[in-house]
C-alpha cells in the first residue's frame, strides 16, 4: 500500500493528466452511446430465435404506437364528443371506441384507443401525451401508453439539480469551501467514464442513470473517508504530500476491500445467463471500480494541486458526535445483534411474497378495468400443415381463447364482427375495415332494421353525430346541424308539458307580446285557464287606468258602464271608506250639499243617542225652532202643524208679554176659550177691580182657584184647563229659565222626542259639529237602511246611497269577484268580463296560469290564428310555413308513431332539409346495430367479402360512406385482405395468432403459455412462441429460479474477500449479515406494502446495499480492530464512528436524494419504479450500517483484535 500511495502522491500530476484524457474520451463515447430499449435483448440467445424468425418472415413495414384513454362517468353523447375531440389531436390517426361492445365499456368506464402515426417513445408521442394532460384536465380521464417509455439518459436540468444536491451535502461536511467542487469533479469524471465504458457493449443498459447514481454515492463515501483521514494527518505532518501519503495508506485497504468484494458479488450476475443482468452487472461493476479510481487518481491529485486554495478557503465543518450513539449501541449490543439475525430471517420469508413484473411497470389505472390485448403467436414450419390444423382446432375449442387466426380459419370459419375486425387487423395492420362498418354489414346481412319515431330519429342522430363519423356522414354536416336545432322538438315529454308564454315565445322564435295576445284571445274565446278573481278596487282601477285609455279595448264596455265605474273609483279605497271624517269632507266625497249633510250627521247623532239626555230652556229651543224654517239641514224636521204648535207655545215664553195685562178678548184668543167665560174669570181674578190681567196671572188664578171653586169651575172645559196648565208650565219655565229635559220639552212642545232631540242636535251643531265624524261606510250604510227618511234632505242621493252600500261593503271586505260575479254586479256580459280579467293578468304580469304545451300551441296557431286572415296577416309566409311544418313534426313526436324513412324524409324536407331516403335508411341501420346487434352472428371472410363487393358498395344506403374515392379504397382494402390472407404463410414458417382474454403477466397467462408450448410439441418441425407475454414468460424462466441462489453465492464470495481484506472472520460475517438484512428488508417492505417488485429492482437493491454496507463495514472494521488492541469495546466503537459515520450518512443521503430526483423526473415508469427501490435500499442501508452493524461488531469485538504469536494483543498503530 505504501508503494501505491507513494506513486499516487509523487506522480500526482501525471496521474491527473492521464485521468483527464480518460475523462475526455469517456465524454466523447457518451455522446455516441445508445440506450437499449428492446426487451428482447434481455433474453438468452436461444430465446431470441423466435423473435428473429418473426421479424424475417413477417416484417412490419412501420412501427406504430397507441395510447389507451379511459373516461369515467360519461353518457353516450359525452363519450361520442370526447372521441371526436381525441380524433382532433395531432398525430392521432384513429380512435377505437364502440359503445355497443363490452371491449370498450365497463360499468361507468369507457375506453378509447388512440392510434398514432409515430413510433413508441418518440417526441411526437410525448406531444400527444402532453396534449392529453393539458387540454383534457376537465374530462375525468386517465391514460397510459400501450408501450412503456424506455429509460434514457437524464436531461441537463436533472443533472444540474442532482449536482446541486450533492454540493449542498458536501458543503455541510467539508473543511473547505473548495473541497465540494473537487469532489464533484471526481464524480463528473467517474460519470463520464462509466457512461463511456458502455461503448465496450455498444449499448448502455436501460438504467444507466441509476448506475451512475450508485457510482456518485460510492464516490462521495470514499471521498469523505479520504478527506476525514487527510485532515487528521494534516495535523501531524507539515507537508500536504506527507499527510496525503499517510491518509492513502490508511484508506486504500478498506476501499480496495469494498471494491473487490462488490466485484465478486456482482460477478455472480454473469452466472445467471441473462444479457440484461450481464449489462447491468457490468455497468455496476464499472461504477464501483470507477468510484475507487476517481477518488485516488482524480481527487487525490486535485487535493495536492489545490492545497493552498483549500487552506485559504478553510471553514468549520459539521462533525456529528456519534459518542452517544456508540454508548447506546454498546449497551444494546446483544439485543440488537439477536434482532439483526431475527429480522434478516423474517424479512427473507416475507420477501418471498413479493410478486415480480418482468416487463411492465406498476399497474396503470386503465388495465384493471380494460385488460391489455393478450396475444400469442405460434410460428410453425409450413411443412407441418396437418399437425398445425389439428392444433388450431384444439386452440379454437379452448374456452380461454377468444379467437384463432390461421390459414385454416381465416377464410372459411365463420367469425363474429369483433373477431372479423381483429382478423383483418392482423392481416393488414392499421388498414382493415372500420369495426363500425363491419357491424353495419353484419346487421344488413342477418338482422332486421326497425323503424323509428320522429323523436327517436332526431334524438339518435343529434346525440351520436358528434362522436360517430358514420352518422355524421349519413346525415350530412349541414343536416346534422339543423337536426340539432330540432332536438328540443323531439322530446315528447317537453312537447306535452305545459310551459308559460315566455318559454313558448323563446322556443318558436316569436315575439313574446304576440304569443301572449294569441293566448289571450284563445283563452277568452275557448276558456281553459282560470281568469282568477278581482276585488272591486283592482277591477275599477284596471278599467279606468288601462281599458278606458286602450283603443284596442274601447268596445269592451259600453259608455254608461264605463262612466259608472269612473264614478265609483272614489269609493274603492277601503282605508278612506273606514276613516272617520267631518260632514264637510263627507259632503265633498258624496257630492252632497254641506248643510244637508249636516242634517244627516245630526240625525245620526240622535239615532246614536247622543242627545237623549240633553237639557235646554224652553225659550232657547222655541227661539231655535222658529228660526230654522229656511235651513236646508232642517228639512223634514217639522211640518206646518208642528210649526203652529211651536208658535202657540212661543207666546208663553216671552217673559215680558206674559206679564202684560190683556183684556178678555185677547186672553180668550190666547187660550182658545169662550170670551164670556174668560171675562167672568178675569172679573173673579181681579175681584172686579179690572177687566184686564196678564196671561201669567190668569193662568195662575184658573189653576189655583177656579178649578177648585164650585161656582167658577162650572163650565170650564177640561181641555181648556189642560191648555192653561201647559201654558202655565211654559211660562213658569221661561220665567225661571229652567233647563228642561227631552221628555219635558216633548210634553211642552207636543213634539216627538226624536224631533226634540234632532232640534237639540241641530241647535248644538254650530258648536259641536266639528266633533261629529263618521266613516263613509258608516254614513252610507246608515242612509241605506231607510233612504226614504232622508229623501227630504238628500233627494235621489238617498236612493243612490242605498245602491252604493253593497259596493262599499264589498270594497271594505275585499270581496273578490269572478268574471261572472263582476258581470252580474255591473250588468255586463260574462265573456266581456272574462276578457278583461285575462287582459289584466297579461298587463300585470300575473300570467303564471297561462301555460300551454308547445304541441297545443302549434295546434292553436295553425287551427285558429292562421284560419283567421286578419290574424294570419301578422305573420310572414316563411313563419307560416315553418310553424305548419313544425306542427306536423311535433304531432308525429307526440303520437310516438313509428314512421317510415320515406315519411321521415317528407317531415325533414318540410323543414328545409335535403336528407334523402337512402341516408335515412342508413341511419336506421346504424340505429339497429346499437339496439339489436347480435354478437353471435357469424360469417366467413369469403362470404363477407363477397357480400361487400356485390351489395354494399353499390347500395344507395351506403352512398354517403362510399364515395367514388372511398369505394376504390374499400376495394383496395378488400384486395389487401385477400392478399394478406396468404401472408399468414411465409417463406419457411406459418403463423397462428391466438387472442385470449386472460390478464397480462398473470398466473393464468403463464399456465396458458405452458399449455400451448406443450401442445405445440406435437409439431414435428421447428416452431416458436412469440409475443409480449411470451417474452415475460421467458424472462421469468431465465431469472426467477436463479436470483435467490445467486445472492447466496455472491454473499459467500464477498465474505471471502472481506475476510482477507479486513483480516477478521467475525467482522466479515457481521457485515455480510447486515448486507442480507438490508437486501431482504427492502424487498420485505415492498411486499408488505403490496407492491410488485420490478425485474431490475432486485439487482439494483442488491448492488446498492452490498456496495454501501461493505464500504462502511470495511472502514468500520479496520478502525475497530486497530482500536480494540489498546482500548475497550465502548471506546473502540466511538473511534470507529469517527472514520465512517459522516461518510455513510452523506453517501446514503446523496443516494436517496439522487434516486428521488431521477425517479421524479423520469419519463418512464421503469426508471421511476426502480428509483423507488433504490431510495428504499439507501434508507435501509443507512439504518443497518449506522445502527445494526456496530452493535453486531461490538458483540464479536473480542475475537476481532489482532494478537501476538503468544496470544497477547499487539500495540495499536498510531492514529
Residues comprising the chain, all counted: 1215
Separation between Cα atoms, residue 528 and residue 857, nearest integer Å:
13
- Are 327 and 1190 spatial neighbours (Cβ–Cβ below 8 Å)? no
Give me the pLDDT at residue 634, please: 67
Give SS3 for 1085: helix
Alpha carbon dihedral 995, 1001, 1005, 1006, in 10-degree steps, equals 140
Nearest one of 425, 355, 434 to 1097, comparing CA atoms: 355
Alpha carbon dihedral 410, 416, 420, 421, in 10-degree steps, equals -160
Give SS3 for 380: strand
Residue 99 DSSP symbol:
T
**More confident of the two residues 748 and 1167:** 748
For residue 662, what are the β-bridge partners? Answer: 693
pLDDT digits (tens, 9 = 90+) for 1099-1138: 777 777 777 777 766 777 777 777 766 677 777 767 766 6
Separation between Cα atoms, residue 841 and residue 1184, nearest integer Å:
89
| Confidence band, pLDDT 50/70/90 cuts, at residue 1213 | very low
Q: What is the mean pLDDT of residues 468-490?
A: 70
Separation between Cα atoms, residue 395 and residue 375, nearest integer Å:
13
Alpha carbon dihedral 1112, 1114, 1120, 1125, in 10-degree steps, equals -170
Residue 109, Cα to own-chain centre: how many angstroms? 17
Give SS3 for 1026: strand
Q: At what angle do helices 76-87 and 454-465 cross, to 10 degrees?
A: 40
Look at 548-552, 566-570, 892-896 and tell me which has the smallest mean pLDDT.
548-552
Which domains can be identified in the chain, with CATH numbers?
A: 2-14+154-351+1039-1199 (no CATH), 64-145 (3.30.70.100), 374-434+938-1038 (no CATH), 452-498+873-931 (no CATH), 600-772 (no CATH)
| Confidence band, pLDDT 50/70/90 cuts, at residue 1203 | low
Helix (H) or strand (E) holding 766: helix 753-768
pLDDT digits (tens, 9 = 90+) for 839-856: 877 777 777 677 888 888
| Confidence band, pLDDT 50/70/90 cuts, at residue 580 | very high
Could you give phi then psi for residue 164, rounded to 5 degrees? -65, -40
How many Cβ atoms from other residues are within 10 Å of residue 696's Cβ?
Answer: 20
Query: Residue for cell digits 240633553?
Result: 614
212, three cell numbers:
451512475
Report whether pLDDT(156) > 80.
no
Cα dist from 151 to 1029, 1091, 1158, whole Å: 20, 21, 11
| Interior angle at CA 403, CA 397 and CA 404, nearest 5 | 80
Nearest one of 1164, 1163, 1159 to 161, comparing CA atoms: 1159
- Are 621 and 745 spatial neighbours (Cβ–Cβ below 8 Å)? yes
Give me the pLDDT at residue 265, please: 67
| Confidence band, pLDDT 50/70/90 cuts, at residue 1024 | confident
**More confident of the two residues 513 and 808:** 808
Q: Over the chain, what is the mean pLDDT?
A: 76
Q: What is the mean pLDDT of residues 66-77?
A: 84
Burial (CB count <10 Å: 0-12, 13-18, 19+), residue 1146: buried
Could you give phi then psi for residue 923, rounded to 5 degrees? -65, -40
Look at 500-504, 632-636, 710-714, 724-728 and tell me which has the smallest mean pLDDT.
632-636
How many Cβ atoms from other residues are within 10 Å of residue 469's Cβ?
Answer: 17
pLDDT digits (tens, 9 = 90+) for 142-155: 878 766 554 555 55
pLDDT digits (tens, 9 = 90+) for 433-442: 677 778 888 8
738, three cell numbers:
229652567
Residue 43 DSSP symbol:
S
Residue partners of 398: CB distance under 8 A and separation at least 6: none
Q: What is the mean pLDDT of residues 797-803?
A: 87
Separation between Cα atoms, residue 602 and residue 752, nearest integer Å:
16
Report whether pLDDT(290) > 70.
yes
What percent of the chain has pLDDT above 70?
Answer: 75
Nearest one of 325, 375, 381, 68 to 1022, comparing CA atoms: 381
| Confidence band, pLDDT 50/70/90 cuts, at residue 1204 | very low
Query: Residue for cell digits 485559504?
Result: 312
Q: What is the mean pLDDT of residues 523-548?
A: 81
Q: What is the DSSP code string of 710-757?
A: TTTTTT--HHHHHHHHHHHHHHHHHHHT-EE-HHHHHHHHT--HHHHH
Query: Residue for cell digits 369515467?
Result: 72
Separation between Cα atoms, residue 16 and residue 299, nearest integer Å:
9
| Confidence band, pLDDT 50/70/90 cuts, at residue 122 | confident
Q: Is the dihedral of CA 187, 193, 196, 200 positive or negative?
A: negative
| Confidence band, pLDDT 50/70/90 cuts, at residue 1208 | very low
Give me the pLDDT at residue 473, please: 65
Alpha helices in 295-401 (DSSP H): 300-305, 307-312, 323-331, 333-351, 385-397
Report whether pLDDT(1214) > 50.
no
| Confidence band, pLDDT 50/70/90 cuts, at residue 275 | very low
Q: What is the mean pLDDT of residues 1153-1173?
A: 69
Separation between Cα atoms, residue 746 and residue 616, nearest integer Å:
11
| Confidence band, pLDDT 50/70/90 cuts, at residue 1165 | low
| Interior angle at CA 330, CA 1134 and CA 1212, nearest 5 | 45
- Are 187 and 219 spatial neighbours (Cβ–Cβ below 8 Å)? yes
What percent of the chain has pLDDT above 90?
Answer: 0
Could you give phi then psi for residue 219, rounded to 5 degrees? -65, -40
Separation between Cα atoms, residue 318 and residue 227, nearest integer Å:
13
Report whether pLDDT(159) > 70.
no
Could you give phi then psi for residue 109, rounded to 5 degrees? -105, 145
pLDDT digits (tens, 9 = 90+) for 305-362: 887 887 788 777 777 766 676 667 667 767 766 776 676 666 666 555 555 544 554 4
Separation between Cα atoms, residue 845 and residue 13, nearest integer Å:
101
Residue partners of 350: CB distance under 8 A and separation at least 6: 1080, 1083, 1084, 1087, 1088
pLDDT digits (tens, 9 = 90+) for 858-907: 888 888 888 888 788 888 888 888 888 888 888 888 888 888 888 888 88
How many Cβ atoms from other residues are within 10 Å of residue 526's Cβ?
Answer: 10
| Confidence band, pLDDT 50/70/90 cuts, at residue 41 | low
Cα dist from 607 to 601, 757, 922, whole Å: 10, 9, 95
- Are 430 and 93 spatial neighbours (Cβ–Cβ below 8 Å)? yes
Q: Which of 171-175, 546-550, 696-700 has the highest mean predicted lDDT (pLDDT)?
A: 696-700
Report whether pLDDT(806) > 80.
yes
Q: What is the DSSP code string of 847-915?
A: -TT-EE-HHHHHHHIIIIITTSHHHHTTS-HHHHHHHHHHHHHHHHHHHT-EE-HHHHHHHHHHTT---
Report whether pLDDT(817) > 80.
yes
- Are 1018 and 387 spatial neighbours (Cβ–Cβ below 8 Å)? yes
Separation between Cα atoms, residue 189 and residue 297, nearest integer Å:
10
Give SS3 for 1132: helix
| pTM of the predicted model as reported, rounded to 2 decimal places | 0.49
Give me the pLDDT at residue 772, please: 87
pLDDT digits (tens, 9 = 90+) for 609-654: 888 888 988 888 888 887 776 677 666 677 777 788 888 888 888 8
Q: Which of 461-475, 551-565, 956-970 has the highest mean predicted lDDT (pLDDT)?
A: 551-565
Nearest one of 237, 831, 69, 944 to 521, comparing CA atoms: 831
Separation between Cα atoms, residue 596 and residue 585, nearest integer Å:
13
Amino acid at each position: 500500500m505504501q508503494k501505491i500511495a507513494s506513486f499516487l502522491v509523487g506522480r500526482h500530476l501525471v496521474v491527473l493528466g492521464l485521468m483527464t484524457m480518460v475523462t475526455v474520451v469517456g465524454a466523447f463515447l457518451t455522446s455516441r452511446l445508445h440506450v437499449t430499449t428492446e426487451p428482447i435483448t434481455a433474453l438468452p440467445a436461444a430465446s431470441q430465435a423466435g423473435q428473429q424468425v418473426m421479424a424475417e418472415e413477417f416484417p412490419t413495414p412501420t412501427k406504430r404506437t397507441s395510447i389507451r384513454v379511459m373516461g369515467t362517468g360519461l353518457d353516450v353523447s359525452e363519450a361520442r364528443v370526447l372521441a371526436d375531440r381525441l380524433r382532433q389531436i395531432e398525430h392521432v390517426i384513429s380512435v377505437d371506441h364502440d359503445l355497443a361492445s363490452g371491449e370498450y365499456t365497463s360499468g361507468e368506464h369507457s375506453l378509447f384507443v388512440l392510434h398514432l402515426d409515430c413510433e413508441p417513445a418518440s417526441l411526437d408521442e410525448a406531444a400527444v401525451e402532453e396534449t392529453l394532460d393539458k387540454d383534457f384536465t376537465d374530462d375525468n380521464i386517465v391514460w397510459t401508453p400501450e408501450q412503456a417509455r424506455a429509460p434514457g439518459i437524464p436531461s441537463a436540468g436533472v443533472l444540474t439539480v442532482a449536482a446541486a444536491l450533492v454540493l449542498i451535502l458536501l458543503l455541510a461536511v467539508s473543511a473547505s469551501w473548495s473541497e465540494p467542487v473537487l469532489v464533484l469533479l471526481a464524480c463528473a469524471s467517474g460519470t463520464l467514464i462509466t457512461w463511456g465504458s458502455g461503448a465496450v457493449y455498444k449499448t448502455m443498459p436501460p438504467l444507466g442513470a441509476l448506475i451512475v447514481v450508485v457510482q456518485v454515492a460510492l464516490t462521495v463515501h470514499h471521498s469523505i473517508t479520504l478527506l476525514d483521514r487527510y485532515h487528521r494527518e494534516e495535523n501531524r505532518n507539515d507537508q500536504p504530500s506527507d499527510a496525503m501519503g499517510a491518509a492513502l495508506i490508511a484508506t486504500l485497504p478498506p476501499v480496495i476491500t469494498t471494491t473487490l468484494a462488490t466485484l465478486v458479488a456482482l460477478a455472480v450476475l454473469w452466472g445467471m445467463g441473462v444479457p440484461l443482468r450481464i449489462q447491468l452487472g457490468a455497468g455496476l461493476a464499472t461504477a464501483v471500480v470507477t468510484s475507487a479510481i476517481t477518488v485516488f487518481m482524480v481527487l487525490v491529485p486535485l487535493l495536492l494541486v489545490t492545497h493552498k486554495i483549500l487552506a485559504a478557503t478553510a471553514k468549520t465543518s459539521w462533525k456529528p458526535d456519534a459518542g452517544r450513539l456508540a454508548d447506546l449501541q454498546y449497551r444494546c449490543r446483544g439485543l440488537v445483534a439477536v434482532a439483526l439475525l431475527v429480522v434478516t430471517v423474517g424479512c427473507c420469508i416475507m420477501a418471498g411474497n413479493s410478486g415480480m413484473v418482468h416487463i411492465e411497470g406498476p399497474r396503470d389505472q386503465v388495465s384493471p378495468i380494460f385488460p391489455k390485448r393478450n396475444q400469442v403467436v405460434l410460428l410453425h414450419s409450413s411443412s407441418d400443415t396437418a399437425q398445425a390444423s389439428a392444433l388450431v382446432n384444439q386452440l379454437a375449442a379452448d374456452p380461454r381463447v377468444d379467437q384463432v387466426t390461421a390459414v385454416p380459419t381465416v377464410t372459411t370459419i365463420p367469425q363474429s364482427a369483433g373477431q372479423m375486425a381483429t382478423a383483418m387487423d392482423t392481416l393488414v395492420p392499421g388498414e382493415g375495415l372500420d369495426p363500425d362498418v363491419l357491424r353495419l354489414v353484419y346487421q344488413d346481412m342477418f338482422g332486421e332494421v326497425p323503424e323509428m319515431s320522429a323523436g327517436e330519429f332526431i334524438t339518435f342522430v343529434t346525440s351520436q353525430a358528434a362522436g360517430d363519423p358514420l352518422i355524421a356522414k349519413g346525415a350530412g354536416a349541414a343536416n346534422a346541424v339543423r337536426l340539432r336545432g330540432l332536438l328540443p322538438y323531439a322530446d315528447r315529454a317537453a312537447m306535452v308539458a305545459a310551459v308559460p308564454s315566455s318559454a313558448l315565445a323563446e322556443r318558436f322564435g316569436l315575439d313574446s307580446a304576440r304569443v301572449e295576445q294569441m293566448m289571450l284571445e284563445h283563452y277568452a274565446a275557448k276558456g281553459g285557464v282560470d281568469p282568477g278573481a278581482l276585488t272591486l278596487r283592482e277591477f275599477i282601477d284596471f278599467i279606468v287606468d288601462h281599458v278606458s285609455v286602450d283603443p284596442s279595448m274601447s268596445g269592451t264596455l259600453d259608455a254608461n258602464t264605463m262612466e259608472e265605474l269612473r264614478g265609483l273609483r272614489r269609493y274603492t279605497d277601503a282605508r278612506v271608506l273606514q276613516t272617520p271624517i267631518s260632514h264637510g269632507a263627507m259632503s265633498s266625497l258624496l257630492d252632497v250639499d254641506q248643510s244637508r249633510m249636516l242634517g244627516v250627521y245630526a240625525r245620526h247623532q240622535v239615532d246614536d243617542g247622543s242627545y237623549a239626555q240633553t237639557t235646554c230652556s224652553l225659550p232657547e229651543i222655541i227661539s231655535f225652532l222658529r228660526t230654522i224654517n229656511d235651513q236646508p239641514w232642517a228639512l223634514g224636521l217639522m211640518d206646518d202643524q208642528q210649526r203652529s204648535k211651536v208658535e202657540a207655545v212661543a207666546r208663553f215664553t216671552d217673559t215680558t208679554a206674559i206679564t202684560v195685562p190683556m183684556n178678555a178678548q185677547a186672553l180668550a184668543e190666547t187660550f182658545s176659550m169662550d170670551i164670556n167665560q174668560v171675562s167672568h174669570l178675569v172679573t173673579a181674578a181681579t175681584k172686579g177691580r179690572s177687566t184686564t190681567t196678564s196671561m201669567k196671572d190668569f193662568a195662575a188664578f184658573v189653576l189655583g182657584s177656579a178649578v177648585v171653586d164650585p161656582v167658577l169651575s162650572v163650565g170650564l172645559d177640561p181641555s181648556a184647563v189642560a191648555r192653561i196648565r201647559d201654558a202655565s208650565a211654559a211660562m213658569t219655565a221661561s220665567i225661571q229659565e229652567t233647563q228642561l229635559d227631552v221628555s219635558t220639552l216633548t210634553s211642552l212642545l207636543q213634539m216627538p222626542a226624536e224631533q226634540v232631540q234632532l232640534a237639540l242636535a241641530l241647535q248644538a251643531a254650530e258648536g259641536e259639529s266639528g266633533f261629529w265624524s263618521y266613516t263613509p261606510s258608516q254614513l252610507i250604510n246608515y242612509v241605506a237602511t231607510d233612504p226614504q227618511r232622508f229623501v227630504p234632505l238628500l233627494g235621489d242621493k238617498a236612493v243612490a246611497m242605498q245602491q252604493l252600500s253593497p259596493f262599499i261593503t264589498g270594497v271594505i271586505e275585499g270581496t273578490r269577484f269572478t268574471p261572472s260575479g263582476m258581470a252580474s254586479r255591473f250588468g255586463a256580459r260574462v265573456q266581456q268580463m272574462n276578457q278583461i280579467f285575462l287582459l289584466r293578468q297579461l298587463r300585470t304580469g300575473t300570467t303564471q296560469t297561462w301555460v300551454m304545451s308547445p304541441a297545443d300551441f302549434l295546434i292553436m296557431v295553425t287551427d285558429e290564428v292562421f284560419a283567421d286572415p286578419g290574424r294570419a296577416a301578422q305573420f310572414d309566409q316563411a313563419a307560416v310555413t315553418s310553424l305548419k311544418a313544425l306542427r306536423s313534426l311535433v304531432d308525429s313526436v307526440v303520437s310516438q308513431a313509428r314512421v317510415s324513412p320515406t315519411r321521415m324524409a317528407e317531415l325533414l324536407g318540410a323543414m328545409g332539409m335535403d336528407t334523402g331516403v337512402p341516408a335515412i335508411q342508413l341511419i336506421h341501420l346504424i340505429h339497429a346495430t346499437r339496439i339489436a346487434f347480435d354478437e353471435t352472428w357469424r360469417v366467413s371472410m369469403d362470404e363477407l367479402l363477397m357480400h361487400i363487393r356485390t351489395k354494399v358498395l353499390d347500395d344507395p344506403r351506403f352512398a354517403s360512406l362510399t364515395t367514388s374515392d372511398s369505394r376504390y379504397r374499400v376495394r383496395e382494402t378488400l384486395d389487401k385482405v385477400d392478399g394478406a390472407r396468404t401472408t399468414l404463410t411465409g417463406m419457411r414458417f406459418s403463423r397462428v395468432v391466438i387472442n385470449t382474454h386472460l390478464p397480462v403477466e398473470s398466473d393464468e397467462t403463464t399456465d396458458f403459455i405452458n399449455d400451448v408450448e406443450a401442445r405445440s410439441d406435437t409439431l414435428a418441425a421447428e416452431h416458436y412462441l412469440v409475443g409480449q407475454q411470451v417474452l415475460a414468460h421467458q424472462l421469468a424462466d431465465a431469472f426467477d429460479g436463479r436470483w435467490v441462489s445467486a445472492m447466496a453465492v455472491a454473499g459467500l464470495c464477498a465474505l471471502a474477500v472481506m475476510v482477507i481484506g479486513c483480516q477478521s472472520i467475525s467482522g466479515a460475517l457481521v457485515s455480510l449479515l447486515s448486507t442480507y438484512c438490508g437486501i431482504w428488508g427492502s424487498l420485505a417492505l415492498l411486499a408488505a406494502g403490496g407492491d410488485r417488485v420490478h425485474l431490475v429492482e432486485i439487482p439494483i437493491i442488491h448492488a446498492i446495499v452490498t456496495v454501501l454496507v461493505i464500504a462502511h463495514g470495511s472502514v468500520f472494521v479496520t478502525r475497530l480492530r486497530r482500536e480494540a488492541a489498546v482500548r475497550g469495546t465502548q471506546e473502540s466503537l466511538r473511534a470507529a464512528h469517527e472514520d465512517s459515520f459522516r461518510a455513510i450518512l452523506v453517501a446514503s443521503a446523496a443516494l436517496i436524494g439522487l434516486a428521488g430526483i431521477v425517479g421524479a423526473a423520469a419519463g418512464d415508469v421503469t426508471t421511476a419504479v426502480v428509483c423507488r427501490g433504490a431510495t428504499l435500499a439507501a434508507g435501509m442501508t443507512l439504518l443497518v450500517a449506522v445502527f445494526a452493524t456496530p452493535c453486531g461488531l461490538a458483540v464479536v469485538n473480542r475475537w476481532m483484535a489482532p494478537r501476538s504469536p503468544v496470544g497477547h494483543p499487539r500495540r495499536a498503530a498510531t492514529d
